[in-house]
Structures are given as C-alpha cells and as structure tokens.
Amino acid sequence: MDIMQYLLPHDHLLLASSKRVKALILEEIAIDNQDKAIEHRLLLEARELHLSALRLTQQAFGEMNVQTAKHYGNLGRLYQSMKKFKFFGGSAVNVSGIQFLTVDRAQMAHCGNEHVR
C-alpha cells in the first residue's frame, strides 16, 4: 500500500481496494490479539482505512452503488468487533459520524419484492 500511495494521487480509486484489504487484515489480527491496548489500536487503524476507502468509493461511484455498500458493510462488521453498535428496527443509527438506515426483515422482504416482476 505504501508504494501505491507513493505512485498514485491521494484520491485514486485503486487505493480504496488496498486500504480495504489492509483494514480487514488488521481487524483479524486485532480480534486474535490478547492485549486489549493493541486490539484497540489496530481496530482504530482499521476504522480509518475503512473510512478512507469509503470516501474514495463514494467520490468515484456515488452513494447508491454496490461498491459503496460493501464498504458500509465492512464498517458495520468493524463496529461489531469494536462493540460500537446499536440495534433499532427501522430507524436511522449514527455510529461514529456515519449514518446507517436499519430495517427489519419484513421491510427488507417488502423492498426485495418490489423489483420482482
């Protein structure tokens, strides 16, 4: 990733993928680590990488894109690992400055059926 950051502009889309991969690796290392201070530091670094990758993807593809959704999913899993999440059926949840819209299973089923013909 360091080489890519040296060669590419700071907002190049290729950096999003390498940041995502590094963040996922850091998460796994953090979860397996017994030292809570190290775990916390690694999870914070992973969060910064995920947020950066999300911003790059949003700039390239916009909010309503599968790649952007994948980054939100990665952040959601990270926040589960960090134990920074709340469950509210059908309401907006703001976690560390990112707003997620949560829906229950019935709402998801209804949304999925609207597009089936």
In whole angstroms, give the CA distance from residue 37 to residue 21.
22
Give how far Cα 70 sits from Cα of 5, 19, 63, 76, Å. 22, 13, 11, 10
What does the pLDDT read at residue 47?
95
95-115 in b/e form (b: 16+ CB < 10 A) is eeeeebeeeeeeeeeeeeeee
Is there a contact between 41 and 27 (Cβ–Cβ < 8 Å)?
Answer: no
What does the pLDDT read at residue 41?
96
What does the pLDDT read at residue 18?
92
pLDDT by residue for the chain (117 residues), tens digit each?
A: 778 878 888 888 889 999 999 999 999 999 999 999 999 999 999 999 999 999 999 999 999 999 999 999 999 899 888 886 554 444 444 554 454 444 444 444 444 444 433
Any idea where the domains of the chain sit in the sequence? 2-85, 86-117
Listed in sequence order, the DSSP H helices in 35-84 are 36-61, 66-81
Is there a contact between 15 and 8 (Cβ–Cβ < 8 Å)?
Answer: yes
Q: What is the pTM of this model?
A: 0.70
In whole angstroms, give the CA distance from residue 35 to residue 113.
46
Count the alpha carbons within 13 Å of 102 in the hemisphere toward its beta carbon. Answer: 14
